[in-house]
C-alpha cells in the first residue's frame, strides 16, 4: 500500500475542506476578543459582539469624548466581554483586512452604531452585531472617529 492509500482511508467521507477552519498565517491578526489597548475601566457587565460583516473589525467602545475599550473581532466570529464597566457606550467599528496593529491596510469603512448600548451587571449580556449594511448602523463616519489615539 502507498502512503496515500492509507491516509485516504483515514478521512471521514463527511468531512471536506470547507468544513475545516482556516488557520491564520498572519501573526499580526489578533484573535477575536483581543484587547488592542489596555481597558481604561473594568467591571462585571457583559457585552456580546458578533461580526457578521465581510471583513475583520476593530470595535471601539466610547464614553463621552474618549474610548474606554478597543478590541478585535474577526470576520464571522462572536465574543462576549465579561469584564466591562456598567453604563452606556457609543459603539464604533473600523472594518477592513490586513490589520497592522494600528490600522487596516485595506480599510472597508468606519461605522457608528446609531444608538448607545446600555450594559448592566445583571445575568444577561447586551448584544451588538457588526454587519454592513444594517439599519442599526449610521452612515459611515470619518476614519479618525474610529482611531484609538
Please give the pLDDT value at position 11: 40
H-run or E-run covering 49:
strand 45-51
- Pairing type for strands 78-84 and 56-63 reads unpaired
pLDDT in tens, 25-44: 456 789 999 999 888 889 88
Please give the pLDDT value at position 120: 81
Is residue 73 within 8 A of residue 130, CB to CB? The reply is yes
Please give the pLDDT value at position 26: 58
Please give the pLDDT value at position 5: 34
| CA–CA gap between residue 26 and residue 85 (Å, rounded) | 32
Residues of the chain with pLDDT under 70: 1-27, 122-149
Amino acid at each position: 500500500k502507498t502512503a496515500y492509500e492509507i491516509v485516504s482511508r483515514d478521512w471521514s467521507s463527511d468531512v471536506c475542506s470547507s468544513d475545516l477552519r482556516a488557520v491564520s498565517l498572519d501573526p499580526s491578526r489578533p484573535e477575536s476578543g483581543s484587547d488592542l489597548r489596555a481597558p481604561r475601566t473594568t467591571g462585571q457587565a457583559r457585552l456580546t459582539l458578533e461580526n457578521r460583516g465581510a471583513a475583520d473589525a476593530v470595535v471601539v467602545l466610547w464614553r463621552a469624548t474618549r474610548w474606554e475599550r478597543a478590541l478585535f473581532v474577526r470576520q464571522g466570529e462572536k465574543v462576549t466581554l465579561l469584564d466591562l464597566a456598567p453604563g452606556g457606550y457609543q459603539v464604533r467599528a473600523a472594518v477592513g483586512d490586513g490589520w497592522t496593529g494600528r490600522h487596516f491596510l485595506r480599510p472597508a469603512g468606519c461605522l457608528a452604531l446609531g444608538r448607545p448600548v446600555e450594559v448592566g451587571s445583571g445575568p444577561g449580556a447586551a448584544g451588538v452585531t457588526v454587519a454592513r449594511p444594517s439599519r442599526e448602523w449610521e452612515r459611515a463616519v470619518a476614519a479618525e472617529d474610529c482611531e484609538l489615539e
